[in-house]
Amino acid sequence: MDETAGLRPQTRKPRISYLLATVFGVGYLRPAPGTWGSLVGLAISVLMSYVISASPAAHQRGSSIAWLVVIVVSAVGVLASNRVVRHSGIKDPQFVVIDEVAGQLIALSLPFVVLNWKSWLLGFLLFRLFDIWKPFPARQAESLPGGWGIMADDWIAGIYAALVLVVAQRIGL
């Protein structure tokens, strides 16, 4: 069954949507564009951590700032992915990696997770594991329409990764 049958390619390419959905072209890197997208999410998390810790005012609002970034990236991801799906006619284009950025940010944005190189590495690996494995309900979330389906499975993978990361920290790993 053709999953793209209900999708109508647009005539004019939505360049800004492609730019955002591919995270400025990162989605075209090979191999494993999803891993490259996750690395962007990791880099943003590391950068946010350093910026937040350097500013006393930002430090008090650190988790709020991190979640605001997650919400903005997620909203942009849904909108941009929707336009790319409509234009390309592909249900879940592999070159769209803003979903990995959002999922990785979720994995590393819980307010009670202490971020250091070990938790960044473990959070990255856990997110990739859950993103590839897609445990319930992540695989089912992919069936949501357009940008929602592209983004939702990675949000769920990010939540799973964050929960395992919190447990790992609580038991001293």
pLDDT digits (tens, 9 = 90+) for 3-31: 555 555 557 899 999 999 999 999 999 99
What are 47-57's pLDDT values in tens digits? 988 887 777 76
Q: Provide CB contacts within 8 A for 131, sequence distance 6+.
A: 34, 38, 100, 103, 138, 153, 154, 157
> What values do phi and psi take at 81, rounded to 5?
-60, -40
pTM recorded for the entire structure:
0.89
